[in-house]
Structures are given as structure tokens and as C-alpha cells.
Structure 1
Amino acid sequence: MLTQTTTRVLEPSDLDAALEVLGREPVANAFVTSRVQVAGLDPWRLGGEMWGYYTDGRLRSLCYAGANLVPVCADTDAVRAFADRARRTGRRCSSIVGPAEATRLLWRLLEPSWGPARDVRSHQPLMVTEQSSAEVRPDPLVRRIRKDEMDVIMPACVAMFTEEVGVSPMAGDGGLLYQARVAELVGTGRSFARVEDGKVVFKAEIGAATARACQIQGVWVDPEFRGRGHSETGMAAVVDFALRDVAPVVSLYVNDFNTAARAAYRRVGFREVGAFMSVLF
């Protein structure tokens, strides 16, 4: 008996089926789930298309195709189908990111037509915690950034992004999209920092949030203050905020070569549960 498969752009009426797929892996899918729960499946509101892979009429896998290309619950057949579609549409994203196994295959299939990449980070441990740190005391000076403090937090965000990604977020459109994203996180109470004399010492954001899991991003310590434990005490404080106000599971992913950060997160209470992969253009 032949299996019938198809791939198509999902529509708003497919929302329930898409959320069912996303709900299978609430931690790994936190980013895409948070976008869908806020914007639905309308491409204009979502900031991209949601591709669906069907087997015998049932939605099995997804791929978010926006600023990032993100495979969701995608097995080998689904990844191949998404790669075919991505080749036909051409590259519109600035990165491919997602669970390592699916992303690795997706990039192998796309590299001949989309390559070369600016950077490939093939193993980024996915870490989670469900409880406050038993070892590290939270920094009492870490707090939410206020809406009137955009001029305080923005230089730190730009420095973090440039250091992490290798290019400035202010290039291209002059940073309008990036500033809007930072303002969104500040406005929703998901931007945290320790500020001394008007200068950010430590910062982090809860970049994605659902009722089941959230994801911390943008962790940064001013170079002048590194080596003093601010990343650990600051993260312990952000984890407490996240567990109390956002979701029962807190996650993040980190570059495997950043051994200092991985060790700090483990001391805070995070453990590795999987891996992501990122391809940067």
C-alpha cells in the first residue's frame, strides 16, 4: 500500500492541527509555538509561512519559513520535502536553526544551492531546568528593564548580538527590526538586567514563552565585569523570574565550544537534554 504525502503552506484554519504537532515537543518547539500562539498562521502576522508535511491526509511535521528556517518534528522524509520546497523558493532567511539531526540533514540538502554559509554551529546543547538553583544565590540587583530604559539596554543588546553572531544587528535597515524586537521584549516584561551607574553589567531575555516552556536568550556580561560570577547569579535570578511568572520549564541552547557558559549554566541547575544546530548566512 502506497503512502500518500504532500507539502503545502498552512492556512489559519490549520491552527489546531499545527498546535497539536508543536505540542509534541514543547521545549524544542518553544520558539515556533510562541510565534504561532501570538500570530496564528497568517503569513503577514506570523512573519513568514508555515509549511506542513502530510502523510495520508494527517499533518505530521512543520517548517517555519521566515527570518529563520526552522524544522519542527521533522523526520527524514519531511526534511527532504521541506528542502525541495526551500530550493524552489530560494533562500529568504538569515539562518537555519532547529533540532540538530533534522537541521543537519536540511543543510546537507540545501548547501549545494544555498551555500556557502557564513558560519555553521553543528552542536548547540539544549539545556533545561524546572527549579530554582540550589547552588547559586540569585543576584538581587537583576530586575526587569523598564520601557523608559531602552537607551540603557540597547547598547548591551547590540554588543551581545555582534559578539555572538559576528555581524551588527544595526546593518541593513539601520537596526529598525532589531530595535523593535528589543522593545517588544522590554514591553512584555521579558528583558532583565543588572544596571550599575547607568551601565548594563549583566543581561538576558526570555525570548520565547508558552504556557509549557520558555527559552532564555541573549545572555551577556559586560567584558569589564567578566570572571566575577555575574553570569551565574544573573541567570539564577532570571530563572526565578521565569519559573514564577512564565512557565514551569526554562530552557536555552548554547554553543558547544563555550565551555565557560555551559559550566555556569550547569551550576545554576541546567542539564542537557538534546542539541540544536544553527546555520548562519
Structure 2
Amino acid sequence: MLKTTSQVRALTPDDLPELHLLLDRDPLVNLFVRNRVDSTRLQARWLGGQVWGYFEDGVLVSACHAGTNLVPVQATRKALRAFAERVLGDNVRPSSIVGPRDAVLPLWELLEPRWGPARSPRLAQPFMVLDRDSRLTPDPRVRPVLIDEFDTIYPACVAMFTEEVGVDPEAGSRSGYRARVAQLISQGWAFAIIEDGQVLFKTEVGAATPQACQLQGVYVHPDLRGRGIAGPALSAVVRLVRQTVAPVVTLYVNDHNTPARRAYERVGFEHTETFASILL
């Protein structure tokens, strides 16, 4: 019997055609990595990390985004073991491991003995998809955020991030987080209801490809929660982003966040996959 040879190495621009084929096996689930690959063309100075490829007999079988986030792509069990060895050998320490639950949890089992308990393991996160406009009447107040409204929207972004992730996004690099929020506004990827200088609702497109985009940071002002604002507001966002960004809208949510899940279901999002996030 011939022995299968395998290797893990950092991918380069020469690997883009083969990597694109791998990512296109599941373009919605692999949206984040495809966005990073398309926007950086695997140039290290822009990527802020690497994308590793796992090869068997010279064929790209799996991949893994290794930067601030560790994100496995079409990862087999053998690939996960190889990626874990590479992570530990290169002393890579991301802030999170994110992706399909069936890949993230086995990868975390390999890393946890060396890294210790996770700060916040989120073991079941419905990945939800909507490929049409919502049946809910859209809230006409939702609109793209203007760059001169940065100082108005920014505190809501910080509040949402802190509430959701459990850490202050300014703790590491205040300028870095401010730059990211400004970038999303400039791209036309930030949407909100703003009245009298108060952010009532907001969300952003965090990543996009020609096929699909992913919403992040869905926020309703604490004083207004439970009043049915999120559904019509998200309906408006879906309509806007399908017109201007991509035809399919995705997001993922913590399984225990019942109010958010119900709101997304009312809008029309359907649970198609299950993600997991290990926050470190």
C-alpha cells in the first residue's frame, strides 16, 4: 500500500486558484476566510497572519486562517491535528477559534491541554442564512451611517462589543478598533437608526464576498429592548445589503440568546449550520 504524504505550509499568492476552489465548496460557511483572502491576496503585510494549507500528495485538502482568529476551512481530522501542531510549534496565540462546530471543538481539544481553560467557550452558535428580502415591513428609519456620525455611533459599537465578547475592544489598541469602525462606515457597511443623537439600533457587515455577506454587532439600545425594534430594523438592513453588498445575508448567534434567535427567525433567517467560538 502506498503511503500518503502530507504537509502543512503557509499559502502564497501562487496557491490562490486552488484555495479558491477549496473555499467555494461552502461559500457561505467559508465567507470570512474568503473575504480575507480576496482583500489581501495572501500578501503578508495586509493579512496580519497566514493562511495555512494542509496538503495530501500535493493536493490542497484543508486550510486554516491563522491570525487574530484561528478559522479552520474544510478541515479533516488529520488536518486539524496538523494545524494544532503548527499552532503550538509556531507559538501562535489567537484571541479566538471560530468556525464550524465540527472542526472547532476537535481543534480545541488538541490545544486546550497546552493553553488551559478558555475565557468563554461558546459551543453551539446557530449559523443563519437569508437569501431573499424579509416578509417583515422594514423600518424606514434604518439607513447607512455617515462618516461624520462616527462619534455618535462609536460608543454603541464599543458597548456592543464589550457586551458580546466580554472585553473592552479598546483595551488592546484603541486606535485599531476606531480605525475598523471608521472603515466599515466608509465602505457603506454600517447601518443604524439614529434619532436626536441617540443610537436606537445598529449593525454592520463584517465580511462580504460577491456571493454573500455576514452581519455582526447587532445592537438595540438597552432602554428599548423587548419592544420589537430589531425585527423591522433587520428587515430594512437585509433589503439594503442585498441591494448594495451581496444577495445572501448570513450571521451567527449564541444558542442561549433566545430573544436574538427569535428576532432573526421572524426576519426569515434559517439555521443551516452550527458554529462554535472559543474566546481565549
Distance apart, 1:40 and its partner CA: 0.9
Matches within 5 A, 1:110-149: 110-134=111-135, 136-149=136-149
Question: Which structure 1 residue ranges, 5 or more long, are not aligned?
Answer: none
For residue 71 of structure 1, what is the aligned residue in structure 2? 72
Structure 1 length-normalised TM: 0.97
Matches within 5 A, 1:242-257: 242-257=241-256
1:182 aligns with 2:181: yes
CA RMSD of aligned residues (A): 0.9
SS at match of 2:172: coil
Aligned partners of 2:70 and 2:184: how far apart in 1?
Answer: 22
Which letter does structure 2 place at the counterpart of 1:234?
A: A
Do 1:152 and 1:200's aligned partners in 2 also have CA atoms closer than 8 Å?
A: yes
* Superposition misfits of 4+ residues, deviation over 3 angstroms: none
SS at match of 1:92: coil
SS at match of 1:126: strand
Matches within 5 A, 1:1-281: 1-134=2-135, 136-173=136-173, 175-281=174-280
Do 1:91 and 1:114's aligned partners in 2 also have CA atoms closer than 8 Å?
A: no
Aligned partners of 1:161 and 1:47: how far apart in 2?
Answer: 21
Distance apart, 1:243 and its partner CA: 1.3
SS at match of 2:152: helix
Aligned partners of 2:176 and 2:241: how far apart in 1?
Answer: 25
Aligned partners of 2:138 and 2:186: how far apart in 1?
Answer: 23
Distance apart, 1:233 and its partner CA: 1.0
Do 2:253 and 2:261's aligned partners in 1 also have CA atoms closer than 8 Å?
A: yes
SS at match of 1:122: strand
Do 1:43 and 1:50's aligned partners in 2 also have CA atoms closer than 8 Å?
A: no
Which letter does structure 2 place at the counterpart of 1:159?
A: A
Question: Which structure 2 residue ranges, 5 or more long, are not aligned?
Answer: none
Distance apart, 1:181 and its partner CA: 0.9
Distance apart, 1:8 and its partner CA: 0.4
Which letter does structure 2 place at the counterpart of 1:121?
A: R
SS at match of 2:211: coil
Distance apart, 1:156 and its partner CA: 0.3
Structure 2 length-normalised TM: 0.98
SS at match of 2:167: coil
SS at match of 2:226: coil
SS at match of 1:216: strand
SS at match of 1:227: coil
